[in-house]
């Protein structure tokens, strides 16, 4: 039985491998970016990760490199792609797009600060290839998935599914970022506004057939 008068030796926590430490620091940084944006400090990151501040610079050359990596991680499109892929099973176009609006709105609102940082960073001369390529790839994959959601009804639309997908993203982004202040459009209003202007009308079909 151990003597209670003898101080217990604290067991040393095994050091993480560089890639594991990198992943842990990124994971700790993402929620801080959502809360504080670019104002987050390396001290806050170190406290959240449970490490000394100097540990960060043993893995990343500077704060910017860590923030860029965290932005790429936060904008990982995988969850959004999975949700959009599932929507291809929904038969009704209006319902399908309404659900897509919900998926996109959640992504935009959850990552508002991070998306703003990403836009600012990609415009700078010192932007890393990791961030530029990550942001571009994420955007393109989501646009591809949204286009696939619209594709089954391509013949009913005046514009291509890709064009409709772009317009939908613009409307969702405008609403999600509060451009309309307190008069924000609902998901149903966004879809109705989009489709009422883009669905092929009988008169269009008759005109095409008679030309």
Class of domain 18-74 (CATH, top level)? mainly alpha
| Half-sphere exposure at residue 150, Cβ-oriented, CA atoms within 13 angstroms | 31
pLDDT digits (tens, 9 = 90+) for 186-206: 888 889 888 887 677 666 555
pLDDT digits (tens, 9 = 90+) for 11-61: 444 567 878 999 999 999 999 999 998 889 999 999 999 999 999 999 999
What pLDDT score does 9 carry? Answer: 45
Residue 76 three-state SS: coil
Helix spans in the chain (H): 18-36, 42-49, 53-59, 63-74, 78-87, 93-110, 112-122, 129-150, 161-176, 187-198, 202-210
Identical fold for domains 18-74 and 78-199, yes or no, is: no
What kind of fold does domain 78-199 have according to CATH?
A: Tetracycline Repressor; domain 2 (1.10.357)
**Domain locations in the chain as residue ranges:** 18-74, 78-199
Spatial CA neighbour of 35 closest among 135, 112, 122, 131: 112
């Amino acid at each position: 039985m151990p003597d209670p008068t003898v101080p217990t030796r604290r067991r040393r926590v095994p050091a993480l491998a560089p890639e594991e430490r990198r992943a842990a620091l990124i994971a700790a940084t993402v929620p801080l970016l959502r809360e504080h944006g670019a104002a987050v400090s390396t001290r806050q990151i170190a406290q959240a990760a449970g490490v000394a501040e100097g540990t960060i610079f043993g893995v990343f050359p500077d704060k910017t490199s860590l923030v860029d990596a965290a932005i790429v991680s936060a904008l990982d499109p995988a969850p959004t792609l999975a949700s959009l892929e599932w929507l291809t099973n929904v038969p009704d176009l209006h319902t399908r797009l309404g659900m897509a609006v919900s998926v996109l709105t959640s992504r935009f609102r959850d990552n508002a600060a991070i998306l703003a940082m990403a836009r600012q960073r990609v415009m700078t001369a010192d932007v890393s290839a990791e961030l530029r390529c990550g942001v571009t790839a994420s955007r393109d994959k989501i646009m591809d998935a949204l286009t696939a959601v619209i594709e089954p009804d391509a013949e009913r639309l005046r514009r291509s599914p890709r064009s409709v997908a772009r317009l939908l993203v613009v409307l969702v982004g405008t609403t999600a970022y509060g451009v309309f202040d307190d008069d924000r459009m609902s998901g149903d209003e966004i879809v109705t506004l989009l489709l009422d202007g883009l669905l092929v009308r009988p008169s269009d079909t008759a005109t095409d057939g008679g030309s």
